[in-house]
Structures are given as structure tokens and as C-alpha cells.
Amino acid sequence: MHNHDDLNESESSEQEPQARMVRVGNETVALVEQGQGPPLLMLPAAPAWSFIYREFMPELARHYRCIAVDFPGFGLAPEPEGDEPTLAGLSSLVEELICQLDLDDVTLLVHDTAGCIGLGAAGRLPERVRGLVLTDTLAWPLRNDFPRVRFMLRLVTSWPLSLLQTCFNLIPWAAITTAKGSDRSPEQKKEFVSAFGTRVRRRRVLTLFRGLVEENAFLERVEGDLVQHLAAKPVLVMFGENDPARIHGFEARWQQLVPEATFAVIPEQMHFPHFAAAKEMSAHILAWREATANDQP
């Protein structure tokens, strides 16, 4: 593992986040970076992009090299040519990105569909991983449990609702407008949604949702690698208090898989607490960081 010091934290964290494009294999991802120190690799979910971590970076960049990733066809990344994405394919992409950037001592921050994507990569590179921050996410197949979650995913990806999403971009609008307490301006909401301005981008959201129902073999491997290679590392699990995933048992499942983890519930928030509760979530991350500073990865 590389050693890091915090001598330049204050200076580097005051700089504006910088975006750049990085070619990974045959794909191009966008990276938004700020700060110095051990890397904090931030993976957003469908239907989101690096936008959801904007309010996290100023504080966390005092302690980490924050790297927020936009997958191909999401956020700032260019629209790709070729096949639709899969959870397994994006997980391999993240694995290759970590190796290409030569990231060690990584703290992985993931949300929703990015959970299994990032944890799949981390489970194959456990020697590079320092700890895990898991927000409103999962790392297991849904086929035997969570029937309501499976039903909702199948409903959202059914052809009538898929057509509405493709034509009218409803899912990103729902994500940002239903976030409790969000004080985003109309311009910011428009910016968030406009990242899914083409039909190709809108369909990619649906493809990843389908993956949560259909890519069972991949999800089984993610769960197995989590238990075998990652569960003993420092883990922070956060859910919005009123997140349907938490209510339907995801938090309880995490308590079974990583019983030694730190758990935090964000009061009154739903599935995207990042919009309105970024400061509170960042405070939990930094408190967890300090509490686990002496834990060996």
C-alpha cells in the first residue's frame, strides 16, 4: 500500500473540482477529482451521475483524493457506441480503471446500482481496498428474496414505462424532485436531468435496472466475494430513514453480511439523501474514517 500524508490537504481541497476524460479499454469514462490523500472512489447509480457527490467533495477533499466517476453514457462521459451496459461489464470497467490509475488504499463510496458494480471490482482487488461506504445499495441476487423490490424493478422496466422513460426521461426527474428537503434550484434540477438528454442515455438507466433482476450469476459472485474478501474491512452503511429499500429489508441484510460494520440512518430522507443531506453524510464518513483509522485493511 502507498503511504499518504495530509500536508497539502487544505490547499488542494480549496481548488475547484477538475473533470477529465479517461480511456479505459474501449470505453471512455469521466472523472471529477478534488483533493489529495488516499483515494475515495465515488460511483453513482442509475439514474444519477457524479452530480450527486458535488456537495460531498469540498469537505471530503480535505482528507481524500476524491474521484467521482461517470460511466460511459452517464453524466459528463460521452455517449458510447456499441452494446448496452451490464452490471458485470461496468464492474470489469471499474476494476480496470483502478488498476490503470494505480489506486491503492482505496475507500469505495457507492450508491444503489453502483453497489454491486463497485463491490464486484473491489472483491477482485481486495488488496487495493481500504474500506467501503455503502449508501442505499445492495450486493446480492434478488431472485429468492425481496419480492416487492423485484416487482418494482420489473414494473419500471416493463415496455409501457420503458417507453415513457425513453421518450420523457421520467426516472431522473423523479429522483431529484422527490428527494426530501432538496433545495436544488430549477437550473440545477435541469442540469441533473439534462445529462440523460438522448434516448440512448435514457435506455442505459433501464438496462442497469434490468440487470438487478437478470444478472443473478454476477450478483452471486459479488455477494460471495464480499463475504470472503471484504467483510472484515472497515465498512460504513448508510440509508435514508424512509428509503423503501431499507423498509423492505436491505439494511437488515447488510447487518447479516457485515455485522461489524458501522450503520447510520439519515433522518427523514429517502433513496437519494445525497441531495439534501450531503453535509450530514459527509460528517458520518469522516467520523467513521477517524474511528477506523487504526484498522488494518
Burial class (CB in 10 A: 0-12, 13-18, 19+), 115: buried
Helices 159-168, 199-214: axis angle to 10 degrees equals 150
Per DSSP, helices labelled H in 73-215 are: 87-100, 114-124, 147-156, 159-168, 170-177, 186-194, 199-214
pLDDT beyond 50 at 4: no
Burial class (CB in 10 A: 0-12, 13-18, 19+), 242: middle
> For the residues 270-288, what does the mean pLDDT come to?
94
pLDDT band at 297; cut points 50, 70, 90? low
Query: Using one digit for the tens of pLDDT, what is the confidence trace for 198-229?
Result: 999 999 999 999 999 999 999 999 999 999 99
Query: Using one digit for the tens of pLDDT, what is the confidence trace for 93-140?
Result: 999 999 999 999 999 999 999 999 999 999 999 999 999 999 999 999
Task: List, in order of start, the domains of the chain with CATH numbers.
Answer: 9-291 (3.40.50.1820)
pLDDT at 6: 41
pLDDT beyond 80 at 15: no
Cell of 272: 437519494
Alpha carbons 2 and 18: distance in angstroms, whole number: 23
Lowest mean pLDDT among 87-101, 104-118, 170-184, 268-282: 170-184
Alpha carbons 282 and 170: distance in angstroms, whole number: 29
Map grid coordinates 469537505 to a residue: 59
pLDDT at 96: 98
pLDDT beyond 90 at 78: yes
Question: What rounded mean pLDDT belongs to the chain?
Answer: 91
pLDDT at 177: 81
Alpha carbons 233 and 42: distance in angstroms, whole number: 18
> For the residues 252-273, what does the mean pLDDT come to?
96
27 Cβ contact partners less than 8 Å away, ≥ 6 residues apart:
72, 80, 93
Burial class (CB in 10 A: 0-12, 13-18, 19+), 47: buried
pLDDT at 184: 73
Contact 177, 19 (CB under 8 A): no
pLDDT beyond 70 at 3: no
Alpha carbons 110 and 275: distance in angstroms, whole number: 15
Alpha carbons 155 and 151: distance in angstroms, whole number: 6
pLDDT at 182: 60
pLDDT at 181: 63
pLDDT at 295: 78
pLDDT at 178: 75
pLDDT beyond 50 at 7: no
pTM (predicted TM-score): 0.93
Handedness of CA 205, 207, 210, 216 (dihedral sign): negative
Contact 242, 273 (CB under 8 A): no
Alpha carbons 174 and 272: distance in angstroms, whole number: 11
pLDDT at 243: 94
Question: What kind and span of H or E run contains 223?
Answer: helix 216-225
> For the residues 267-274, what does the mean pLDDT come to?
92
